[in-house]
Structure 1
Amino acid sequence: MQLELPSAGYGSARRPTARRNELFSDWIEAQAFLLESAVSKPWLVERLDGSKLVKNEADAWTLVSDCFALCRQRRKSIGAPYPFSIAGDALEYSGEGSAYTFCLLASLPEQFVELREGYPATFRDIFEAVVAESLRSSFPRWDVLETGWAKIAEEGRKQAIRSIADFARGKFLDETVFKQPKDAQVDVALRRAFSDERPSFPVIMGQCATGVTDWKDKAIRPNLDRWQKAVQFSATPTKLFAVPFAFDHETFWFAATESSGLVLERTRITAALGAIPAQLAGQISAWLEQAKPLIPTLEM
């Protein structure tokens, strides 16, 4: 199957966005995933011929070469969980690295508008589970608490806030600070407690964002000032912000400064993941099977 050329996020050929190279690298990887065979530089340049994404053939070669260099950098940074091999002028899908492939496909709505409402909604819960699993690997001596929307919906507002208070060994003050469970804006929390079972230890509270149009608004979450009206923490928590996207340096810096905390994007999330639990692997596999037919492809 041949992937349609993207329709959003690139700007014009003469005035491309800062996201262009990252987005087209995603497009190349997605094409290799769908094609299930190697994608070559000459083939990609031919696909770009006459499109609005490039000024001319020379510009197409520059874009493709830059994106291959970027994919090589991804492989270097991520290691074994990166599911693509690159040899010479060709990139090929290896069939491994399901968490990376999941994050890749979850990012495609950034350049295919029709996918923004089309994907199976379970990808939000799956992404939160992937982030939690990545954090367990990245912070091996920390405790990880999953507190996302699915968990909050089951527990209710009061219990969800109390669970954070207990996790941080803080004092539960007022559940009415958050009128709705989702207002709490915490999908995952971490702590590095001491063996004396007393408070005053590092706590991280994180927001996971999958929306391509609103992640910039969510980068400032969770609102720690508001949380400190609901819970009396013995030590001020740090924030964490996680997205499935691959950020260029400019976009990463924006997210970091908006968040004023830790930022996890696709590279950091997937680099930490080796083998993932069987249940999560099964959920990812099922979602990929559902999502694959929805990706815009050319009629052959």
Structure 2
Amino acid sequence: MPIPLPAATDPTESLADWMELEALRSKDKSTSVASLVKLLRRTGSTDAIVSAGGDSGSQVTQSIAQDAFGEIENRVKACGKDRYPFEVTRGALNVRPKPEAFTYTALLLMSINKPTAGHEGTSALFENICARATLGYLGGSANGVVSVRFGSPRKSPLARLNQAIDDLCLSVGEGDGCRRPQLATHTGDDGLDIVAWRSFPDGKQGKLIAFGQCAAGASDWQDKLAEMDARSFVKKWMRAPLLVDPVRLFFIPRRVSSRDWESAGIDGGILFDRCRIVACYHSEPTLEKRCLDASKIMLKGLK
């Protein structure tokens, strides 16, 4: 996958992504603010900004590159230093040893690649990562939290939607099974990718339940923000209502600008961007191996 050349008009988040990807691709496994400045000047993409009333091209380019590096520093804080695959020094970004072993690397590479389908595809892998992040966010297994990937494709005996709903209701202890099994013999998911809940020792109804939607695609995530309606899903497919409406979660393997954050949260629910996923992720050996293998493949494709 070729890394697109950065332009001064690109969002700050995209320029920060470029710095990370360039560091991963480069022979010396590093990049810097100076490298980004040099490339932006070479492309001449600051010309439109300067002609519209900006300062000199040199000052504008330097400011844009510094903003991108500021975003890099924010990512370190948002992920947790130990979970970020780069060492950040004054004006420079250096790849840590074995970057493919970091969940962040897998998510960064997913954000520029078209998701692949199937049980072993990157779309399912992303959903499994998100399920583990949900587990961590809600408190972990030690606190009675269960988090499962509900999305399609599912393996037998839960491949069909009615089978998956019956199993989900039994596990959650609410919903009373699939309301219209004859209409749910297909293998889809009706927009529901992740389900998690935090139970009480008494086993009674009325608990925190979360419904999550994942958007692994590079460009269509904003179109999916309002795609999954938790209350409608319950009314449509479950015999009995859940005592408390599910909380909505939305997951993407990218960073979201401050400008878009509020509207994305309103439309999609609690927003998990790349750094939030990494910060909450609870490791699991089998999934770690899948992430490692996928990252190695995607890293080889960087050009």
Q: Indicate conservation of the 8 Å contact 1:84/1:93, yes or no.
A: yes
Residue equivalent to 2:167:
163
Q: Of 228, 236, 254, which residue of structure 2 is paired with 1:229?
A: 236
Matched ranges for 1:240-259 at <5 A: 240-259=249-268
**What is residue 214 of structure 1 aligned with on the other side?**
220
**245-254 or 89-98: bigger deviation:** 89-98
Cα RMSD after superposing both structures: 2.5
CA deviations over 1:25-71 (Å, ceiling 9, x no partner): 01101111112522122222112223154333332211111111111
Counterpart-to-counterpart distance in 2, 1:266 and 1:117: 16
In 2, Cα distance between the equivalents of 1:118 and 1:24?
A: 25
| Matching of residue 262 in structure 1 with residue 270 in structure 2 | yes
Give the Cα–Cα distance (whole angstroms) in 1 for the partners of residues 96 and 252 of structure 2.
24
Q: How many residues align?
A: 278
**Letter matched to residue 106 of structure 2:** F
Displacement of 1:125 after TM fit? 1.2
2-structure distance, mates of 1:161, 1:273: 25
Q: Which moved more, 1:34-43 or 1:84-93?
A: 34-43
CA contact (8 A) 1:152 1:160 kept: no
* Distance verdict in 2 for CA 1:278–1:118, change over 3 Å: closer
Q: Which moved more, 1:162-171 or 1:72-81?
A: 162-171
1:40 aligns with 2:40: no
> Any conservation in 1 of the 2:115–2:216 contact (CA below 8 Å)?
no
Q: Give the secondary-structure state (helix, strand or coil) at the position aligned to 2:88.
A: strand
1:273 CA displacement: 3.2
Unaligned regions of 5+ residues in structure 2, if any? Answer: 48-56
Deviations 1:64-91, CA, capped at 9 Å, x for gaps: 1111111111112211101111111211
Q: Matches of 1:189 and 1:52 in 2, distance apart?
A: 48
For 1:285, the aligned partner's letter is: L
TM-score relative to the length of structure 2: 0.83
TM-score (norm 1): 0.83
* Correspondence list, 1:86-165, <5 A: 86-95=88-97, 96=99, 98-108=102-112, 115-116=113-114, 122-139=121-138, 140=140, 141=143, 142-151=145-154, 155-165=159-169
- Tell me if the contact between 1:3 and 1:34 (Cα under 8 Å) persists in the aligned partners: no
- CA distance in 1: counterparts of 2:161 and 2:115, whole angstroms: 27
Which residue number in structure 1 is paired with residue 51 of structure 2?
none
Alpha-carbon separation, structure 2, partners of 1:119 and 1:64: 36
Q: How far does the alpha carbon of each residue in 1:4-42 deviate from its partner, in whole angstroms, 9 at most, with x for none? A: 514xxx7xx5xx46xx10011011011111125221222
SS at match of 1:49: helix
Q: Residues 134 and 270 of structure 1 are in contact (CA less than 8 Å); yes or no, is this contact kept in structure 2?
A: yes
Aligned to 2:199: 193
Q: 1:175 deviation in Å?
A: 2.9
The verdict on how the C-alpha distance between 1:162 and 1:117 changes in structure 2, with shifts beyond 3 A counting, is closer
d(CA) in 1 for partners of 2:30 and 2:169?
51
Matched, 1:291 2:298: yes
2:43 match: secondary structure: coil
Q: Deviations over 1:137-183 (max 9, x none)?
A: 22222211221213267521211121232233222222345574324
Asked if structure 2 preserves the Cα contact closer than 8 Å seen for 1:161 and 1:175, the reply is: no
Among 29, 46, 50, the residue aligned to 1:54: 46
> Residue 285 of structure 2 aligns with which residue?
278
Alignment of 1:182 onto 2:188: yes
What is the one-letter code of the residue matched to 2:276?
R
| Aligned sequence identity (%) | 22
Verify the 8 A CA contact 1:177 1:226 in the aligned structure 2: no
> Structure 1: 5+ residue runs without aligned partners?
109-114
Distance between the aligned counterparts of 1:94 and 1:119, measured in 2? 30
Whole-angstrom CA distance in 1 between matches of 2:246 and 2:117: 34
